[in-house]
Amino acid sequence: MTQVGGAAATVDTGTDTVRAEIVDRVGVITLNRPHRRNALHVEIYAAVPSLLERFAADDDIGAVLITGAGGAFCAGGDVRDGGSAKLVATDDPEDLVRTRAELLTEHARMVTLLHAMPKVTIAALPGAAVGAGMSIALAADLRIAARSARLVPGWSKLAFSGDFGGAWFLTHLVGPSKALELLITDAPIDTEAGTRLGLFNRVVEDDELPSAALRWAAEIAAGPTYAYAGTKNNVLDARRLPLEEALPLESERMVRCSMTQEHRDAVQRWMANSAKTKTRK
């Protein structure tokens, strides 16, 4: 990821399949299997959630950016390595289903962390995000894409129903009817269509993506992160709660924000700017 301002601090991930660094208060996670288009791997399942938990708890990190090395974001599950099938040994069909489903749910924990962690999360797509890779991209709060990037459901052509929350995220973002159409037709969603559907927040030229993504993440990280966490929770509550239940939670967050130093600093800046404006008049 191209550096924008301050020096980057490398973070040990315990594996070559995932790189991580902290730069300009942004925790950057890079899926690093470019030779397999960053297809998911058992070491990724362990490293990414661990990094997300670490970044979520670090007050010096204001935003999290996830991307892929090379020309792809993530090709989804690596079907050539057998997935969870080779990790479970049982002759009972229902026990096999239950055990493999539990393992798949554990592997997908990264999407719940991206979705719910108290930091703004951004997915930067240098290229295709397929299957579970699309789910990971949609799990982030915001998405910035290179113009050549694509979202590809990818499951139906392999006679899969979908995983990593893909249907859940698509349904919330575009509605149930459109989500079902996209999942069944399995057609690639280019940046023009994705922007129209609200799946991409920003699109830039391919060679601009690394710097543009980090610059955007750094701008967010420099903002009032406690307030942004509250705003993110307000949006999450809007998905799951009726207004009468969401309002008290929203009000509590507003009051808590009013008691923070970042609020007091913001008021001081606003007052100083107001004074300058009056002086110029």
3-state secondary structure of 272: helix
What CATH code is carried by the domain that includes residue 161? Answer: 3.90.226.10
- pLDDT tens-digit series, residues 232-281: 999 999 999 999 999 999 999 999 999 999 999 999 999 998 887 777 76
What average pLDDT does the chain have? Answer: 93
Residue 33 has pLDDT above 60, yes or no: yes
Among 173, 196, 221, the domain boundary falls at 221
- pLDDT tens-digit series, residues 102-112: 999 999 999 99
Among 198, 221, 244, the domain boundary falls at 221
Report the distance separating Cα 281 and Cα 185, nearest Å. 60
pLDDT at 86: 54
pLDDT at 82: 53
Residue 116 has pLDDT above 60, yes or no: yes
- pLDDT average, residue stretch 81-93: 63
Whether residue 96 sits in one domain with residue 68: yes
Whether residue 273 sits in one domain with residue 141: no
AA identity, residue 251: S
- pLDDT tens-digit series, residues 34-78: 999 999 999 999 999 999 999 999 999 999 999 999 999 999 998
Number of domains in the chain: 2
Residue 36 counted as domain residue:
yes
pTM: 0.93
Whether residue 211 sits in one domain with residue 72: yes
pLDDT at 91: 72
Whether residue 274 sits in one domain with residue 209: no
pLDDT at 206: 98
Phi-psi region of 82 (alpha: psi -120 to 50; beta: other; left: phi over 0): left
What CATH code is carried by the domain that includes residue 231? Answer: 1.10.12
Report the distance separating Cα 174 and Cα 262, nearest Å. 35
Q: Which residues contact 163 (CB under 8 A, 6 or more apart)?
A: 77, 104, 108, 131, 132, 135, 155
Phi-psi region of 144 (alpha: psi -120 to 50; beta: other; left: phi over 0): beta
Q: Name the H helices within 77-175.
A: 93-107, 109-116, 132-139, 166-174
Among 221, 236, 259, the domain boundary falls at 221
- pLDDT average, residue stretch 110-136: 98
Whether residue 242 sits in one domain with residue 134: no
pLDDT at 78: 80
The two tokens of residue 123 are 């997915």
Phi, psi of 96 (to 5 degrees): -65, -45
Of the chain, the percentage scoring pLDDT greater than 90 comes to 88
Residue 83 has pLDDT above 60, yes or no: no
Whether residue 23 sits in one domain with residue 157: yes
pLDDT at 85: 54
Whether residue 78 sits in one domain with residue 123: yes
Whether residue 209 sits in one domain with residue 268: no
Report the distance separating Cα 200 and Cα 232, nearest Å. 18
Whether residue 170 sits in one domain with residue 50: yes
pLDDT at 3: 54
pLDDT at 84: 52
Provide the domain limits for residue 156. 9-221
pLDDT at 232: 97
pLDDT at 80: 67
Instruction: From residue 203, give the alpha-carbon distance in Å to each of 15, 64, 71, 190, 206.
Output: 31, 18, 15, 11, 9
Whether residue 46 sits in one domain with residue 132: yes
Whether residue 125 sits in one domain with residue 92: yes
Residue 151 has pLDDT above 70, yes or no: yes
- pLDDT tens-digit series, residues 187-245: 999 999 999 999 999 999 999 999 999 999 999 999 999 999 999 999 999 999 999 99
Contact (CB, 8 A) for 34 and 69: yes
Report the distance separating Cα 123 and Cα 30, nearest Å. 10
Whether residue 187 sits in one domain with residue 135: yes
Strand-pairing partners, residue 9, are 22
